[in-house]
Amino acid sequence: MATSPQPAPPTTRPPSGISRRLLLTAATASALFVTATACGSAVNTAGGSSSGGLITLSMQNPDSKTQDPATWQLVQEFNKQHPDMKIKLEGQPVDQHEQRMTIAAQSGTLPEIFWVYDSLAKTMVKSGDLLDLSPILAENGLKAKFAPSMLDGFNQGGVQYGLPYQALVTGFYFNKTILDTHKIAVPETFDELVAAVKKLKAAGVVPIAQGANNSPYSVWAFLTMLDRFGYESKYQDILAGKAGYDNADFLRLYQHVDELAKAGAFPSNMNTQTYAQAVASYTSGKAAFLDAGVWEAEKIQKSSVGKDTGFWAGPTFTDGVGNQKLVMDVPSAPFVVSAKVKEDKKKYAAVKAFIQFYYSDAGQKILVDNAQPPVTTYKPEVDTTKASVFAAVLAEASKPGWTSPRAQPDLVVSAATASAMYDSFYGVMGGTLSPEEAVKNVQKTIK
């Protein structure tokens, strides 16, 4: 039996655009749950901390030990320190996990703590299914450990319903040796990127590794470019019907993407290769740039191009809108807590203790040790001789004078609109959509 697609970067959401975000009706959800259970894959505690525990942490990976070692290690350490509050770690592939959480909310059987896409979390908080975490944040100065942007996106109607699971830092990895060989400086502006693309293409080098097949979400660097054309200041009006996605500023960006495509920026097999194959083409030294994020740092480090790799937030635009010094460093999909936890003093105490530990400096160090950026203001110390790629990502994300949008553009719209955004970029990159058609296709999904 076919199973639901797995998120490409196994240790991340990632990026909430990695897989379809499902908001299911009760009937559809129940049918899907029966199907998943029949496959024997509804719940998997492989790699979990134990078969039982006072509270359960339910994740979007069926085997956290190998697919999300940072979370697995955090749970192991917490259980050692709090044997009376032991956490059971379980998980399912992302789509099945979303389905299961939908059903659990409807039946009142949500796990105590769980990962979920923000679109579903926002639905749950409206139904009163999620705990307001504000009182927990108020203890021990925990709230002060977060930059406001890491919390604001998970606050609705004054309810702090979620906390950032991991940070989402995206952009372009680049091969220093390839650029040096062809006497190309790391670009800063879009015009410099186009010039680099033309030079690399003429030399027979793939400029930017991209893979659209079964991976339409893999356009992270282009979502950041969207913010450089005023997305953050426009999207609320667009969603409210006061403006359109097919505005002149966004169209100008898509015209630039078309210019990149015509300059030969993307591999000829882009539409038939997957994101994972695009990563492999970069790690084997066949491409100069890779559109990806921090979740690939460790893999790239261990590859033959690790010592030659740097990280870049992407090009600025002379005809852009607003601040051009933007690097995508935002919270990914959140951790949330079942509202029913408040009814059990022991479970509430355990949830509170785990949250306090996860976001402590000790907890954040575990994230950093597993090549994940901290989501608090914790300042990591990274051995640049052993983790030069990860260090490059952190350095780019903290460049003086640069700031981050509050959220990745696809995380603040419906699943249908997010999917249309991915397809719009790949359509222009692959030559199947004109810039005008691309922005109109996205606008059609906005009700």
Q: Residue 426: which CATH number?
A: 3.40.190.10
Print burial letters for 209-241: b (CB count within 10 Å at least 16), e (below 16).
Answer: bbbbbebbbbbbbbbbbbbbbbbbebbeebbee
Q: Higher model confidence: residue 109 or residue 8?
A: 109
The percentage of the chain sitting over the pLDDT mark of 70, rounded to a whole number, equals 88
CA angle (383 as vertex; 378, 388 as ends), nearest 5: 105
pTM above 0.85, yes or no: no
Answer whether residue 99 shows pLDDT above 90: yes
DSSP code string of 310-338: EEE---B-TT-BS---B-EEEE-SEEEEB
**Single-letter code of the amino acid located at 8:** A
Which residues constitute the domain of residue 417? 169-329+390-443
My answer on whether 268 and 414 are in the same domain is yes
Q: Residue 93: inside a domain, yes or no? A: yes
- Reference 223, options 409, 440, 413; nearest CA is 409
| Banded pLDDT at 13 (limits 50, 70, 90) | very low
My answer on whether 397 and 431 are in the same domain is yes
My answer on whether 125 and 246 are in the same domain is no
My answer on whether 427 and 367 are in the same domain is no
**Quick one: how far is CA 169 from the chain centroid?**
8
3-class state of residue 201 by DSSP: helix
Digit-coded pLDDT (tens) for 222-261: 999 999 999 999 999 999 999 999 999 999 999 999 999 9
My answer on whether 163 and 174 are in the same domain is no
Q: Residue 3: inside a domain, yes or no? A: no
In the chain, the number of structural domains is: 2
- Reference 290, options 307, 302, 304, 276; nearest CA is 276
Digit-coded pLDDT (tens) for 303-352: 999 999 999 999 999 999 999 999 999 998 899 999 999 999 999 999 99
Answer whether residue 378 shows pLDDT above 50: yes
Can you tell me the distance from the alpha carbon of 368 to that of 238, in angstroms, rounded to the nearest whole number?
37
Classify strands 159-160 and 155-156 as parallel, antiparallel or unpaired.
Answer: antiparallel
Q: Residue 382: inside a domain, yes or no? A: no
My answer on whether 272 and 396 are in the same domain is yes
CB distance 58 to 121 below 8 Å: no
How large is the average pLDDT for residues 111-129? 94
Q: And the tokens for 212? A: 């659209």
